[in-house]
A and B are shown apart, each in its own frame.
Chain A
Amino acid sequence: MSFRSILVTFGSIFLAFAAGAGFILFSGINPLFAYGSLFKGAFWGIDNLSETIVKLCPLLLAGLAVAFPLKCRMFNIGAEGQLYLGALVSTWLGLSLQLPHLPFVLLLTAGGFLAGGIWGAIPGWLKARYGVSEIINTIMMNYIAIFLVTYIVRGPLQEARKVFPQTDPIAKVAELNLLVSGTRLHIGILIGLFCAVIVYVIFWKTPLGFQIRTVGENPEAAWYAGINISRQTVFSMFMGGGFAGLAGMVEITGIHHRLLAGFSPGYGYSAIAVALLGKAHPLGIILTALFFGGLRQGAGSMQRLAQVPVTVVYLLEGLVILFILSGEYFLESRKEGLKTEGG
């Protein structure tokens, strides 16, 4: 990652906030006060900070879910659906089994990962085998997964009281431990950071990740080098789906302790922005997830203290992406000029 692309990233964030300030000013509120309360609400004090990290966790995992296939030039728009499926399977396991804490959590982790992974591998396989666009398929499979969960929490797995569209709570021993008592900060963040390290090691220390990156950078050269492109395509989508499944699993076992319809506020979609902004690099994704998590957490206090509606935060998210993408485009087109040099 070059100095210039870092400059573009931070420049974009600055510009997005500047543009957002315009909107806030328009409604007659001091933008500095608004941003101040946003920042305080995100990072000031253990309560706010722990809630920021709670939101960081699914964003980080889902961000990895988009970034991993992206390295193989696969656009995984389906993190949301994979997240729901991971949540569904780990809830089902958590409802139907009784095991000691550690093996139970490990089993739910594996179950969530596998469920999301298989949900991701299906469009991967369809792409590798029949060349069907993974973008379309992952989007469509989001709907299937989300509505499948909606049906299940109203039908087969609905709580015994049959009042709300939600399941009964999972077994107490299956819940993730808290890191700090008195907060909701659970060990899911450690799972997320561990996965980020794993992704880093796979991509930059192992032949497997090297081959995936080769397919992503130049599929033709990969084919000529005898790399099995189909296998890497399916595998990268499996891993991506797996991370999204884990995101769903930590949300259930760490926060909600039961499955409910519409429990994710679009983590799987924000993950696309997280992966892009983080340049598909684990470290970048951790920082971006922190940034986005902070925005979402701080939005509440900005609304309370400065009367700036929460939606401004989504506006900021959108603006950041817009500026980043146009900045990238600008950088790329400058580079293109270099390449046209010929005989």
Chain B
Amino acid sequence: MRDITKRFPGVLANDRVVLQVNSGEIHALLGENGAGKTTLMNILYGIHQPDEGQIHVFGRNVKIRYPRDAIRYGIGMVHQHFMLVDRLTVVENAILGTKSPRWPLLDLQKAREEVRNLSAEYHFNIDLDAKICEISVGMQQRVEIIKTLFRQVRLLILDEPTSVLTPQETEELITILKKLAARGLSIVFISHKLEEVMSLCDRVTVLRNGRVVATVSATEANKASLARMMVGRDVLFRTMRSTHTGGKVLLNVEKVTATNNRGLQALKNASFQIHEGEIFGIAGVDGNGQVELAEVIAGLRRPTGGTIRVRDVDATDLGGPQTREPGVGYIPEDRQKRGLVLRFPIWENLILKSSTSPAFTYRGVYFKFYEIRASSETMIRKFDIRGPGLEFPAMNYSGGNQQKIVLAREFQLKPLLLIAAQPTRGLDIGATEFVRRQLVEFAEEGNGVLLVSTDLEEILSLSQRFAVMYEGEVVGTVENNGSIDLGEIGLMMAGSKRLYDGNRHM
């Protein structure tokens, strides 16, 4: 790709980007969120059109107008969100959109044969006749890769492929990718995780603010130098911990069970306690009951069994949608969908949970606009929310500032316990540090934080203790005392190890 430039209204997403990927190479595309990685790959895959620049595939200058052009040139992409049909089998998904040799009839027999050969060749270890909804996320990702191989892919793009995987699954994916590269396949690996990039890739292109900072060989680089290129300054990988110790029990969750939106059991006998001044982590792969747990504690979802006590108040059943009493704040994991109303101005987003409070209304009936404005301005200053201004919709704010809006709103309600679900997902390093510092300071004031994160590093650097969840169960509670066996945690996250020690009900 040569001199690719892409402008979105108000944003220069890619500025004369040059990217060269050799055959058989694993090439990392590294950068913070908003650096332009996904835009660049969407241009290569025909989802966006570049404003300027050229794309050469195997020496030919090509125009890629639609994904089907990209597929014809041997480019395949595995998106962050998989594009699979849940009710179809692995084989059926693999042949989706390809022309059958026996057109207009399907030739499942032959397709199955081919998929089996591919699977065996690269040790995908996959059940060909299982339906997509029956297999794990890691397996689904392999189906996506098989799909591209089935289409004779020569350049494979993977968009943040490890964000949904356990450490073990990540290891296996890396092995598979190395094998694919050894057979001459080129791979573009989008990531912001330095560790993986270092262990997998041959060369690294770092993007920052839409520009290429450098393309370096992985052997010449180290974590610190890559991070510096990504952020444009030195980054300290440090841990922050609340120093508050020995608090009383703030939250007591005992044998709580709950169902998910489809009525299936999503939470089984979860028990743990959070003390005053403590950040308690919930680790685990996405979709293992963490969201349901958070919602039950926040009072948004009714548990089907067990008890929840905040301080000494029974908060098991708050009787419907209820988040304020007794003082549980909630930072939902998808701020754009669940935390904010993107088209509402900042001040409306800041009062989303307190729109009838006496501070902002006359008897809960009519808004006190002067007070609302004053309070919003205070919050904007206090949380350093940067953007066009109070009256502008939240969608005009960057991800980090959007999260600050949510944070400001929750803290302003002065909760005793704050549930933070993936509070730094998708944030750049500066905003991540800000959010983490706020959580730690909040805990140091004697409050509790329930930190739900799929990023193990985040759990390890913030929490005093943490629980690991697998398929709705708390498989173990771990003291984060510096002697953590990551392999063991990984096994717990994958459900193959349970920890029944004294910590479980401490």
Report A's interface with B, CB cutoff 8 A: 205-208, 210-211, 213-214, 217-218, 220-229, 337-343
Contact = CB atoms under 8 A, between A and B. Distances in A.
Contacts of B31: 343
Interface of B: 8-9, 11, 13, 31-35, 37-39, 42, 47-48, 160, 190, 192, 299-300, 320-324, 330, 332, 337-344, 348, 351-353, 355-356, 360-361, 364-367, 395, 426
A223 B300 contact: yes
Given A220-B338, A343-B34, A343-B190, A206 B343 contact: no
Contact of B332 (A208, A224, A342): A224
A207 B361 contact: yes
Contacts of A340: 42, 47-48
B33 A343 contact: yes
Determine which residue in A206, A207, A217, A338 has the highest number of CB atoms from chain B within 10 A of its CB, and name it.
Answer: A207
Given A207-B361, A337-B8, A341-B11, A224 B339 contact: yes
Contact of A214 (B330, B332, B344, B426): B344
B373 to A, nearest CB: 14
B342 A226 contact: no
B38 A226 contact: no
Given A207-B356, A221-B341, A224-B339, A341 B8 contact: yes
B212 to A, nearest CB: 15
Given A206-B361, A218-B342, 7 more contacts: A213-B344, A221-B352, A224-B300, A224-B330, A226-B300, A228-B321, A343-B34
B356 A225 contact: no
B35 A226 contact: no
Contact of B341 (A205, A207, A214, A229): A214
Nearest to B299: A226
A341 B352 contact: no
Contacts of B355: 207, 210-211
A221 B340 contact: yes
A226 B353 contact: yes
Contact of A225 (B32, B160, B323): B323
Contacts of A223: 300, 321, 338
A210 B350 CA distance: 12
A213 to B, nearest CB: 8
Nearest to A339: B395
Contacts of A339: 395
A206 to B, nearest CB: 6
A175 to B, nearest CB: 34
Given A206-B367, A343-B426, A225 B352 contact: yes
A227 B342 contact: no
Contacts of A220: 337-338
A235 to B, nearest CB: 14
Nearest to B159: A343
Contacts of B338: 220-221, 223-224
A338 B13 CA distance: 11
Given A220-B337, A223-B321, A226-B321, A205 B366 contact: yes
- Among the interface residues B33, B330, B352, B364, which one has the most CB atoms of the partner chain A within 10 A? B352
A227 B356 CA distance: 11
B45 to A, nearest CB: 12
B366 A206 contact: yes
A205 B343 contact: no
A225 B342 CA distance: 14
Contacts of A214: 341, 344, 352
Contacts of B426: 343
15 contacts: A205-B366, A207-B364, A208-B365, A217-B341, A220-B338, A224-B300, A224-B330, A225-B353, A226-B300, A226-B321, A228-B321, A229-B321, A340-B48, A341-B11, A343-B426
A205 B39 contact: no
Contacts of A218: 337, 340-342
A217 B344 contact: yes
A206 B365 contact: yes
A170 to B, nearest CB: 35
Contacts of A226: 299-300, 321-324, 353
Contacts of B8: 337-338, 341
B9 A338 contact: yes
A208 B361 CA distance: 11
B115 to A, nearest CB: 31
A20 B332 CA distance: 52
A338 B192 CA distance: 23
A280 to B, nearest CB: 14
A106 B11 CA distance: 57
Contacts of A228: 320-321
B196 to A, nearest CB: 15
Contacts of A229: 321
A218 B393 CA distance: 13
A303 to B, nearest CB: 44
B38 to A, nearest CB: 4
A105 B11 CA distance: 59
* Centre residue among B9, B13, B322 by max chain A CB count within 10 A: B9
